[in-house]
Amino acid sequence: MKTTTLTLKKLKGQRPIVAVTAYDVITARYAAEAGVDVILVGDSVGDNLLGFDSTVPVTLDMIAHHTAAVARAHTDALVAADVPFGEAHFDFERVLASCQRLMQQAGAEAVKIEGGARIAPLIARLTAAGVPVWGHIGLEPQQVRVLGRYRKFGVEAAEAERLLADALALEKAGCFALLLEMTEANLARTITETVKIPTVGIGSGADCDGQILVCTDLLGLAPGAMPSFAHAFASVGEETKKGFAAYTMAVRERKFPK
């Protein structure tokens, strides 16, 4: 059965939501066959696939390109696309046009936007226009140049209070779900218990309504150290190296082709 924003909302309190990132048709098909509920074409494509050191250089063109690839998998998972760096802070007409492009041309079924109460009025206008919006609070990777580093959010009482207010503002604006990134676990639980829409966590403890991981992390494809909250459920990177090495040896020893 096709996952929609409505079916995701109904999962709250019923069973955990499973979400992953994917950036190509092959990964999207494998993820969907495994039964994941949501595939996010994240701007994490920048630092996980395209060689950038953050998500900041990722453009709308890049997101649209990778979203179209994932959409061509024609899966039952809900396909969401990130609105990349800076886009959500232009005037409404431009933001709506960007979302139109991601949905009408690239095939996204929803968009994800970073930011809390300060962009809630924009999100309310987008949802009124028919754009399903997945809110994103806690660590906002697009703010890394301002922050100077990645860190946990909501540890201090004032920041925790602000994040709870952000969550409520985004729910009121019409978001169908919230992504809580690097949010202190007790606060993530409080937000999850307070809002009526699902929360999906990454690095935010075990009490969210669902979890999301970057596909390269969970497949063991990420070079170097993984984030502390991530876990490799496979060793695809090692198997890939073995495959390339076996091919190289077979060609050089004239064993392939036979």
Please tell me whether residue 199 adopts helix, strand or coil conformation: strand
**Which residue from 9, 53, 33 is spatially nearest to 209, judged by alpha carbons?**
9
Cα angle vertex 180, ends 75, 29, to 5°? 15
Q: How far apart are CA 49 and CA 140, in angstroms?
A: 19
- In 3-state terms the chain splits into helix, strand, coil percentages (rounded to 5) of 45, 15, 40
CA-based torsion, 45, 46, 48, 49: positive or negative: positive
Contact 8, 177 (CB under 8 A): yes
Question: Residue 223: is the preceding peptide bond cis (ω within 30°)?
Answer: no
Q: How far apart are CA 249 and CA 230, in angstroms?
A: 34
Bridge partners (DSSP) listed for residue 91: none
Contact 141, 44 (CB under 8 A): yes
User: Virtual CA dihedral for 89, 93, 98, 101, nearest 10 degrees?
Assistant: 170
Q: Which one of 181, 193, 238, 253 is the catalytic residue? A: 181
Q: How far apart are CA 18 and CA 210, in angstroms?
A: 6
Structure tokens at 32: 């969907």
Catalytic annotation on 239?
A: no
Catalytic sites, residue numbers: 181
